[in-house]
């Protein structure tokens, strides 16, 4: 039986919609906010596909695909595909300091913890889009794991993740998988 690509496509669309949250972009036209955002970006160079593909493949995550973004925050992204449950987690190397990322008011922290000596914030981005986002402090930027979900009112397919709790459980699973290979710096 062939798996549908629809869950992966919906997840990629949802992740793209969250670019505004991750970048800290302001939609109110406030130039002071824009200049602060620009001033807090940092260069990043770790390729998330190269860094994490082997670990992810060992846990049934397939089809790594690299995408990069530069506006307004530099970002290197690797998307993966998983079936049962159907979702497309992504790992983002974000060129913005951890404190600035987790301070975004559209990201509600569900839990803070330390993993492998690093600050980790598990956040709910439901106010902006249907994602659970785990942010990991790895200077000079932030490593993020993003997992989307399709609420029941949006007509999910059988096997789709449908709640923030399920999305965060899957994001935490990815965190457990990649923790042994976290880089020292981004």
- Note down pLDDT in tens along the chain; length 186 residues: 334 444 444 444 344 434 434 444 333 333 333 333 444 899 999 999 999 999 999 888 999 999 988 778 899 999 999 888 888 999 999 999 999 999 999 999 999 999 999 999 999 999 899 999 999 999 999 999 999 999 999 989 998 999 999 999 999 999 999 999 999 999
In the numeric block, which tokens belong to residue 151?
A: 């609420």
Q: How far apart are CA 32 and CA 40, in angstroms?
A: 13
The pLDDT of residue 174 is: 97
pTM: 0.80
The pLDDT of residue 100 is: 95
Sheet holding 62-69, edge to edge: 62-69, 75-81, 90-94, 141-148, 131-138, 118-124, 108-115
- Cβ-contact 146, 89 below 8 angstroms: yes
Q: Tell me whether strands 108-115 and 90-94 are parallel, antiparallel or unpaired.
A: unpaired
Q: How many Cβ atoms sit within 10 Å of the Cβ of residue 40?
A: 15
DSSP state letter for 104 = -
Question: b/e string for 75-87 if b means 16 or more Cβ within 10 A?
Answer: bbbbbbbbeebbb
Secondary structure class of 12 (helix, strand, coil): helix
The pLDDT of residue 86 is: 85
């Amino acid at each position: 039986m062939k798996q549908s690509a629809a869950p992966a496509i919906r997840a990629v669309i949802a992740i793209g919609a969250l670019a505004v949250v991750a970048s800290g972009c302001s939609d109110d036209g406030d130039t002071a906010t824009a200049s602060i955002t620009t001033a807090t970006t940092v260069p990043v160079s770790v390729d998330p596909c190269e860094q994490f593909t082997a670990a992810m493949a060992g846990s049934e995550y397939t089809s790594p695909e690299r995408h990069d973004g530069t506006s307004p925050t530099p970002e290197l992204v690797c998307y993966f595909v998983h079936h049962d449950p159907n979702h497309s987690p992504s790992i983002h190397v974000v060129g913005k300091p951890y404190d600035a990322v987790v301070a975004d008011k559209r990201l509600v922290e569900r839990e803070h913890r330390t993993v492998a000596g690093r600050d980790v914030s598990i956040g709910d981005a439901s106010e902006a889009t249907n994602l659970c986002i785990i942010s990991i402090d790895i200077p000079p930027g932030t490593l993020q794991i993003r997992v989307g979900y399709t609420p029941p009112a949006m007509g999910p397919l059988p096997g789709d993740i449908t709640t923030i709790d399920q999305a965060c459980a899957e994001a935490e699973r990815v965190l457990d998988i990649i923790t042994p290979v976290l880089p020292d710096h981004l």
